[in-house]
């Protein structure tokens, strides 16, 4: 049975093939060699209280258009001013309206760590992430079968990237733990159906190994949701829709961090 995630990945691979025709892996490697070192997000993630990863997000497969973001760099600057520990930039084009140009713009504007959030299933995409200034990269266990998860995790670390290893089930938590993931996310949204259940984090958080950073993803409408995630063990909460629709993202982050 074809899932929502399968359809997304088909589009991701088509777009990836086009980028590979335009920019060689050798060119990406040369850019990475000349790039400054990646920033370490772990001190911010391990700080007292709850940390926020604030997301630049125009669209979503479940809700369609969320916000007109003509200047992602300006939005990122507001996030940083509000105290975001990191900024997530969606670079998937078809379902989320993102691009690597958004990542470039945000990287040039802010000094906080930046996450490339995309459906990363190849080594090329990790080289892309680092070449465009990302400090973190999303690795979704659900889309990385067999040894691919460990292979991509290893390359990400070699490149200086901090992988955010995303899970949604007990089995996926086990796979993340097996490769020694330092930052483990639990997505309340099931990417095969797009259904959201915030209780997934409550149930899975205790299974995350001691010492790993716990990241709660999806299902945040306001400060109460952030507080609930934090109460159930979240060190970090990733927030997108609630911020881009808030009207005052700097103030919203300040309120989220005050829970």
Residues serving a catalytic function are 55, 57, 117, 166, 187, 217-218
Yes or no: say if 44 and 113 are a contact pair by the CB < 8 Å rule. yes
Answer positive or negative: Cα dihedral of 31, 9, 144, 186: positive
Cα–Cα distance, 106 to 67 (Å, whole number)? 17
Which residue in 124, 121, 126 sits closest to 141, CA to CA? 121
CA 109, CA 104: separation in Å to the nearest integer? 9
Instruction: Confirm if 55 and 220 have CB atoms less than 8 A apart.
Output: no
For residue 192, give every residue at least 6 positions away whose Cβ sits within 8 Å of its Cβ, in sequence order, or none. Answer: 3, 4, 5, 142
Report CA 138 to chain centroid distance, whole Å: 5
Instruction: Scan for tokens 């997934």, then name that residue.
Output: 200
At 210, is the secondary structure helix, strand, or coil?
coil
Q: Which residue has the tokens 């901090």?
A: 162
Interhelix angle 25-34/123-131, rounded to 10 degrees, is 40
């Amino acid at each position: 049975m074809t899932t929502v995630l399968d359809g997304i990945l088909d589009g991701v691979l088509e777009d990836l093939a086009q980028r590979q025709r335009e920019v060689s892996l050798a060119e990406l490697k040369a850019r990475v060699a000349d790039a400054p070192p990646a920033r370490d997000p772990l001190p911010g993630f391990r700080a007292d209280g709850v940390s926020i990863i604030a997301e630049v997000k125009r669209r979503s497969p479940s809700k369609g258009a969320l916000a007109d973001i003509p200047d992602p760099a300006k939005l990122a600057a507001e996030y940083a001013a509000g105290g975001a520990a990191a900024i997530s930039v969606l670079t998937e084009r078809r379902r989320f309206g993102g691009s690597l140009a958004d990542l470039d713009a945000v990287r040039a504007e802010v000094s906080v760590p930046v996450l490339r959030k995309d459906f990363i299933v190849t080594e090329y995409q990790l080289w892309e992430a680092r070449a465009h200034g990302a400090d973190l990269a999303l690795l979704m266990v659900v889309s990385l079968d067999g040894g691919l998860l460990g292979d991509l995790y290893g390359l990400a670390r070699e490149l200086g990237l901090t992988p955010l290893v995303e899970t949604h089930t007990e089995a996926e938590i086990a796979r993340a733990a097996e490769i020694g993931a330092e930052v483990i996310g639990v997505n309340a949204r099931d990417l095969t159906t797009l259904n959201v259940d915030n209780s997934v984090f409550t149930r899975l958080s205790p299974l995350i190994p001691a010492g790993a950073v716990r990241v709660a993803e999806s299902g945040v409408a306001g400060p109460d949701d952030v507080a609930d995630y934090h109460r159930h063990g979240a060190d970090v909460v990733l927030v997108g829709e609630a911020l881009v629709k808030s009207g005052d993202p700097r103030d919203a982050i300040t309120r989220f961090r005050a829970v």
